[in-house]
Structure 1
Amino acid sequence: MRLAPLTSLTPEQTELLETIVGPGVEPPPPFLAWARNMELAHWVENLGAYCRNRSRFPQRLRELSVLIAGRHFDSRSAWNAHYEQAVEEGVPAECLDRLARGEDPGFKAEDERVFHAFAHEMLYDHFVTDETYAAALALFGEDGVLDLIGCIGSFSMSAMMLNTFRIPLRDHLPNPFPETDGFPY
């Protein structure tokens, strides 16, 4: 990891971290990284908390959004931290395994298929086709489309931070993207 351990926390950092994980609970490394810049951490955590806990999507699609962003940025840490939860929430493992290999995941559920198509076009093409936008709007509504954009944006930022600072999460798991030359975590 490129960041030195935090040896002590300011009262402001302690308050933020306790708000996120609870008093006396060891915060996961990503939150410790953001806590190094408290001005930014406040905004990042508000968006992240909304996307993790309050967006209009069921937890299954929230977890899928982490994995889509994690795959786009080749973030093994993000992937390994959320893969099992996504499967437990009902995202088919075989679809996620195809996503990890860079293949069409072949989602059968309409919401997963449209969610992935929208996110994929946004991340890879930088634009969303009229057809995909109309499908997302019909399925998720305008507020849902905005939540989708916000969740992918938030989890993309987290994946970039994990990669930049080489923060290992569940590094005992195998690399889901063996073709990448990223850091070995």
Structure 2
Amino acid sequence: MRLTPLHEANAEQAELRDRITRRRGGVHGPFDALLRSPRPGALVEALSTYCTQESALPERLRELALLVTARHFDAQHSWNAHVGKAEAAGVEGAALRRLARGEEPRYTAADEELLHRFATQALVEHFVDDDTYTAALQEFGEAALVDLVIALGNFATLALILNTFQVDLRPDSEPPFPDVRGFRRVRAEHSPS
């Protein structure tokens, strides 16, 4: 990690560290970086908790939204921390492996396909077309759709923290994306020079 270890925490940092530890079993990933700026860090952590645990979306779709965002931002740490949770919640592993490789995921569940299309349009195009918006509103409802957009922004924030501060993968995990080495994108071996 690019940030130096936090050996001595001030009162705000210690309070946030204790809260994160109670909620998450320890300070890992982007949350270690958030300790450096505890006031906004506490807000980002609280929003992350809401997005992953309390949102109006079902758990399966919350986890999928996180993974779509993680892949969009090449956030390997987030991917590794949540891919098992997504599979346990019911997202098909084969679709997630295709997503990790940068391929079309081909979800078997229609709501997963719709969430992916909505999230991808929002993250890549920065706009969501009328047909996708209308279908998502009908499928998820207003509250869940607002929660989805908020979650995409929160997950993007965490991905930017992970990549900017080069938060290391856990020692027991493998890099999940074939086109990312460390903290840089690499060309596919089959692409022309």
TM-score (norm 2): 0.88
For structure 2, list consecutive stretches of 5 or more residues without a partner in the other structure.
185-193
Q: CA deviation at 1:174?
A: 2.4
Residue equivalent to 1:34: 34
Q: Helix, strand or coil for the counterpart of 1:64?
A: helix
Q: 1: distance between equivalents of 2:76 and 2:87?
A: 16
Residue equivalent to 1:183: 183
Residue equivalent to 2:116: 116
Q: Helix, strand or coil for the counterpart of 2:52?
A: helix
Q: 1: distance between equivalents of 2:173 and 2:29?
A: 17
Superposed counterparts of 1:163-182, under 5 Å: 163-182=163-182
For structure 1, list consecutive stretches of 5 or more residues without a partner in the other structure.
none
Residue equivalent to 1:86: 86
Distance 1:11 1:44, change over 3 A: same
Structure 2 residue 16 is matched with structure 1 residue 16: yes
Identical residues among aligned pairs (%): 44
Q: Helix, strand or coil for the counterpart of 1:177?
A: coil
Q: Helix, strand or coil for the counterpart of 1:22?
A: helix
Q: 2: distance between equivalents of 1:110 and 1:22?
A: 36
Q: CA deviation at 1:12?
A: 1.6
Q: 2: distance between equivalents of 1:20 and 1:42?
A: 9
The aligned amino acid for 2:156 is S
The aligned amino acid for 2:35 is A
The aligned amino acid for 1:121 is Q
Once the two structures are overlaid, the 10-residue window that deviates more, 37-46 or 76-85, is 37-46
Q: 2: distance between equivalents of 1:145 and 1:49?
A: 17
Once the two structures are overlaid, the 10-residue window that deviates more, 162-171 or 120-129, is 162-171
Residue equivalent to 1:147: 147
Checking the alignment, whether the CA contact within 8 Å between 1:118 and 1:128 is kept in structure 2 is yes
Residue equivalent to 2:98: 98
Residue equivalent to 2:70: 70
TM-score (norm 1): 0.92
Q: CA deviation at 1:65?
A: 1.4
Q: Helix, strand or coil for the counterpart of 1:33?
A: helix
Checking the alignment, whether the CA contact within 8 Å between 2:92 and 2:108 is kept in structure 1 is no
Q: Helix, strand or coil for the counterpart of 2:183?
A: coil
Distance 1:173 1:163, change over 3 A: same
Residue equivalent to 2:46: 46
